[in-house]
Chain A
Amino acid sequence: MSGIYLHIPFCRHKCTYCDFTSFPDKLGLAEAYMACLCKELELRGRELERETFDTVYFGGGTPSVIDPDYIYAAMKQIVKHFHLTKNPEVTIEMNPGTVSEKKIATYKRAGINRFSVGLQTAIDSQLEELGRIHNVRDYLYCTSLLKGENFSADVMLGLKGQTKEDVRKTVEVAAWSGARHISMYALTPEDGTPIYTDYLNGELPDADEVRALYDYGYALLREKGYSRYEVSNFCKKGYESRHNLNYWRRGEYIGVGVSASSFFYGRRFTNTFDLDEYMKCILSGFLPVVENERVEEKDAKFEFVMLALRTAEGISAERYHAAFGSDWREDFAAARKKNAAYLTENGDRTCIKDEYLYVQNHILMDFMEN
């Protein structure tokens, strides 16, 4: 089963930690851009006409910042050019500062059935510091409009001055608002973002402190009935993100839009990060791919393990065998033996023990060849 990702590179204001491709000052280009996106969908749809897709994901940027009719049009285009399964999961990312009743109604009409809302933190001063355009009240208003819907809340750890108490409030707000899925992930200070300066100056909590916040947040989530199914993703039973699970199972996906990545037929490829170039390419009838590489078998096997070990379901021997025709226990015999103390094996499945889930880079190192 495969996924479709659409990148909407617009937002009202760039967050201080954001290193995604997003242009706060180019909303005027949204119409032209979305036209290009639809064109690219058509081009890709033709290539992939034999494939069936199970999930659609509008990510950004802030997909909810543009006119919802563009989203509607894009969905129509998808339905026209791709085979979707009977009950596809269709998600859109939303900034709580950009929603309205009408928008949400349009999304639903377009077939969107899952919403990912960026709460980040329930402390207004921290939201301001992050350059977010919303406050906690906006979030509560937004989620009130989503009452009864399947929505997820994003929560960030490792913010400047963040305490356990702050994490508690945030988790409580997210849970109380009715989110059936919560992504709780650590802020990664990327070079080139404003927050990187804070990081360089030692103003952000260090790895140990973040881990402590994480453990605390995790305990709260568990109390509230959310279980962890991936390093930074939690949900009520049955509300896993199918779109994201597909990534971790090393499933195929097609990404459209500027900077979008794809993985299909053994190749990983990425579109240009340059908005002008993207549109020029599409208008000239070319695919705007700038990176394109075939994944060698040994890399593919490692990817499989790397991604699977992020999840609670872990490595499935059966699924691995189906993908590569070999037994992962033999392919990675040495690494598996060396790290036996950190792994739990249960029949078909092998996953990292709970307490080592956050230090899996150290473990993965042994699974890399050479």
Chain B
Amino acid sequence: MARPNRNLRNFCIIAHIDHGKSTVADRIMELTGQVSKRDMEEQLLDSMDIERERGITIKLAPVRMYYTALDGQEYELNLIDTPGHVDFTYEVSRSLAACEGALLIVDATQGVEAQTLANAYLALDNDLEIVPVINKIDLQSARIDETKAEIEDVIGLDASEAPCVSAKEGTNIRDILEAVVKLIPPPDGDTDAPLRALIFDSYYDNYKGVILFVKLKDGSVMVGDRIKACLSDKLYDVTEVGAFAPYLQPKERLLAGEVGYIAASIKSIEDVAVGDTVISADKPDTPPLPGYKKIRPVVFCGIYPLDGSKFLDLKEAILKLKLNDASLTFEPDNSVALGFGFRCGFLGLLHMEIIQERIEREFNLDIITTAPSVSYLVHKTDGSELYVDNPSHLPPVSEIEWMEEPIVRAEVYSPPDYLGSVMDLCQDKRGTFKDMTYLDTRRVKLEYLLPLNEIVYDFFDELKSRTKGYASFDYELAGYQRSRLVRLDILLNGEICDALSIIVHEERAYARGRTLCENLKDAIPRQLFEIPVQAAIGGKIIARETVKAVRKDVLAKCYGGDITRKKKLLEKQKEGKKRMRQIGTVEVPSEVFMQILKTNKDK
């Protein structure tokens, strides 16, 4: 048996969102000379446009570096950047499985936050060595000692030796690397054993096919090897292996303990699932590594092309995104109002927004998205059960015995000043109080059980506005709960618009119906005829507003000098109309479907 390279370190960086994870990664790369300062783009690892603009990391991105430590030895470091947002916990857990240690970045001005904790526990579950790092010490409001104490009290990690750094100014970055070398163990495994490599990510390259991101547990792999994906039983010939530098850098072979990529002219990403194990085709009986549990989407919405004829373009866009995002689910859907589209499932609201934005931006498609929904469990009178995430697929009331809705365990962290408002909000949102803990004099942790459908509605916006942005919030699914739910339909000019139907709690239905009608009245431009906007439950109208007919759009004069201007004005209006969708006889702006729920509070 041969041990992997003793001077190899695989680690990742975990942190609460905005605690400086990507900046720390950039500084480490800079210090190891991985990227020359001149070529350095801010936050190199966040390579998607959206990631950079929003300042978040979505996809995990690995990079290999060499570092000569103070002990005089050269070490090979593989760093895997991870997303910080709760929606992407799945991505985090995948990268953790490829590492032996994790840097836990904590903002010295913010202290331990919801996601710090969640990620730290994830890392502990994966048996990783956790190295706390205190960041942002350059800021006036940095509380270094208190932050250390918090790490010890709340997470139970020794933080006395934790490197204290300012990634922004590049202070003490070397301390981090020394800690990595000293504290994080090298990978174990056996380079002589048959190949076993964990696929922790993948993406589709137009020339090379699917690129597998792998961590080799045992054995080695090189060009020409015949490999097998355990789950699908498919065989491939390796065409290229290499490291992340951070761009793909081919090398001769990958050895046990190493992190790198494999290309093998793989055409379909479905055949090489993330979490699967790659083994040698010569040793088909090699037992696979433990994978990840399959992730279930929790938030759903319909996505339709604005221009109905672009359905195939939309399909292609979603398929391509799926190649890089295993957590996205979709199935074809058909709406009376919006035509052909897809019902997509997401890990959370942010994930949903990101996907929508990527479709519009990267594929240049205008889309209509419906209000987010969750997956309800319907118990039918005939004893059967089914999950429904699309309100228009809900069976008739007469066939429903009872329904259950998904519940989350939510943790809200807030300064004590806003405790009252936060509790009011949770109460409003049908929450059940579970626990309250004072973390220190400035922060309280509240635990509630909340229906997920209230969270996808406007919980987060409300929380931020009621606490002036001070509260943060995290949640995890906590099963299903019986609930009195009804479908609320919206009728435009007397016709049900299926794309606007929502499932709501019975007690909320009247208020929500009223709000919806009011919002729609404001959002739908006046047309040549009067448009009744009605909300209905099972055929009974519960709210009504009217979009008045337009009375005047032209009384100005139009003489010789006005003709061109008038034409341009009409062209501009026409442009605006392109963002509209014809629902029966009514023209509806495309944003309405998504935003109508967000724009106003229930009155």
Contacts and interface: CB of A to CB of B under 8 A. Distances in A.
A186 B528 contact: no
Contacts, number: 100
Contact of A268 (B528, B563, B573): B563
Contact of A232 (B551, B557, B574): B557
B555 A261 contact: no
Given A299-B567, A306-B570, A186 B552 contact: yes
A352 to B, nearest CB: 10
A253 B561 CA distance: 10
A232 B561 contact: no
Given A255-B561, A306-B566, A307-B558, A208 B552 contact: yes
A188 interface: yes
Interface in A271-313: 291, 299, 302-303, 306-307, 310
Given A259-B561, A368-B570, A368-B574, A359 B528 contact: yes
A322 interface: no
A213 to B, nearest CB: 10
A302 B567 contact: yes
Interface string A224-243: 00000001100000000000
Contacts of B561: 255, 259-261, 270
Contact of A368 (B550, B552, B557, B571): B571
A212 B548 CA distance: 14
Interface in B541-560: 548, 550-560
A363 B553 CA distance: 10
Interface in B28-51: none
A361 B554 CA distance: 7
Nearest to A356: B528
Interface string A50-91: 000000000000000000000000000000000000000000
Contact of B552 (A5, A207, A370): A207
A207 B563 contact: no
A360 interface: yes
Given A270-B561, A306-B567, A362-B527, A232 B555 contact: yes
B567 A358 contact: no
Given A342-B528, A356-B528, A368-B574, A361 B553 contact: yes
Which interface class (under 10, 10 to 19, 20 to 34, 35 or more) fits A? 35 or more
Given A207-B552, A368-B571, A362 B560 contact: no
A303 B556 contact: no
Nearest to A259: B561
Nearest to A369: B574
A33 interface: no
A365 B554 contact: no
A149 to B, nearest CB: 22
Nearest to B577: A365
A244 B528 CA distance: 28
B563 A210 contact: no
14 contacts: A207-B550, A207-B553, A208-B548, A247-B558, A261-B560, A261-B563, A270-B561, A302-B567, A306-B567, A358-B551, A358-B553, A359-B552, A361-B573, A365-B573
Given A270-B561, A362-B550, A368-B571, 11 more contacts: A207-B552, A208-B548, A231-B554, A232-B556, A248-B558, A306-B566, A310-B558, A359-B551, A359-B554, A362-B527, A362-B528
